[in-house]
Amino acid sequence: MAIDALSSKKAGALALIATAAVSLTSIPAVAHPEGQADPQSAPVRAGVQITPDAPKLPQGLSARAWTVADADSGDVLAAKDAHRKLAPASTLKTLFAVTVLPKFSAGAVRQVSAGDLEGVGAGSSLVGIRKGKRYKVADLWQGVFLRSGNDAVHVLASMNGGWDATAREMQQTARKLGARDTTVKSPDGYDAPGQVSSAHDLTIFARAGLADEDFARYCSTARAQFPGPKGTTEIENTNRLLVGSHGLSRYPGIIGVKNGYTTNAGNTLIAAARRGDRTLVVTVLNPQSNALNAVYTEARSLLDWGFSSAKKARPVDSLHIVHAQHAAYAHGAGPGAVNAGATDIGGRGGSWYSAVAPWAYGAGSAALAAGIVLVLRLRGRGRTTPPGGTS
């Protein structure tokens, strides 16, 4: 998948601290049929859903589909063709992470075989995984989230039982999360016949991921050290709203999540940000504008609109019930379960998620009145490696 962003060099930059807090509360059930807005409050014009009393939407929105959702309540504040099935590009890696991340402890080590790297698509974005080298699982996830490395996805999928098995499990996870628009063919998001998702479903995946501290940490990391042929090298996140590059400033309160690009999908982006006590998730798919950075500028304008409109715009839809649980629990697997082929040298058994997930999962737990606030303190370094190819 072709990455929409190239890394820029910023030698000697000060460490960045990204602080993100996601408050997790039970989500009220959808009061209208799945995928439809309340016809009394959400007129649809040219595929756009917005309540009559909501502030006017930003000008210049050209994306084929988009959503603005409150991460805490699950309310969709506005949307355009939210259930339109489109190629997702690397934003599908959010579902991959929700499915696979809880299975392997961050300190587990994988010695990469030739078989692990078989089938990486031509032109894929690569973080630089080398056959025969040993990598910690944490390094592989940094490669997935920061560089959108399809090579890292292939290694993790091999650990998870193989490419096809992982695709099937991702499909099951999507259904368990209530995401009905998604068909998984290639776990890394690489263009494949029949592979689709929607702005609605991708927002669900991001929201489910942000409930896990490791997902939230990885998706909001601007820069990290990655094992290279000679020691370590610094990699920079390709999300331009997160790092502030290519003529864009870092978005205030940005948490991160995932961007992507393929020929079929165009530019895609899921962006989460927090201001005060409110966290919003905006998903933008395939802007038709030829403007530079269109996917980022449209996401920025929708985030701005969402924060200014959150107390004025009534919901037009609701995301399905997603609690502070990692999707693997729906498959009976707990965090820290290490697959054969990986050596456990540091588990996740003591994590916040381990304590929360068993009681947090389950439709109908609307009695959960108190939210759980997750505060992340992240540091990034200021130098980057040369840009990779595609994602």
Which residues are the active-site residues? 90, 93, 148
Contact status, residue 278 vs residue 252, Cβ threshold 8 Å: no
Round to whole Å and give the CA distance between 204 and 12: 37
Q: Which class for 278: exposed (0-12), middle (13-18), buried (19 or more C-beta within 10 A)?
A: middle
Contact partners, residue 364, CB within 8 Å, separation at least 6: 321
Extended beta strands in 39-120, E state: 44-45, 48-49, 63-70, 75-80, 109-111
DSSP letters spanning 244-313: T-TT-PPPTTEEEEEEEEETTTEEEEEEEEEETTEEEEEEEEEE---STTHHHHHHHHHHHHHHHHTTTS
Q: Which residue is listed with tokens 């004025």?
A: 312
Round to whole Å and give the CA distance between 76 and 69: 4
Contact status, residue 77 vs residue 317, Cβ threshold 8 Å: no
Round to whole Å and give the CA distance between 95 and 121: 19
- CA distance readout (Å), 154 to 100, 112, 299, 362: 12, 10, 29, 30
Round to whole Å and give the CA distance between 210 and 193: 29
Q: Which residue is listed with tokens 């587990």?
A: 108
Q: Which residue is listed with tokens 């990986």?
A: 342
Contact status, residue 49 vs residue 328, Cβ threshold 8 Å: no
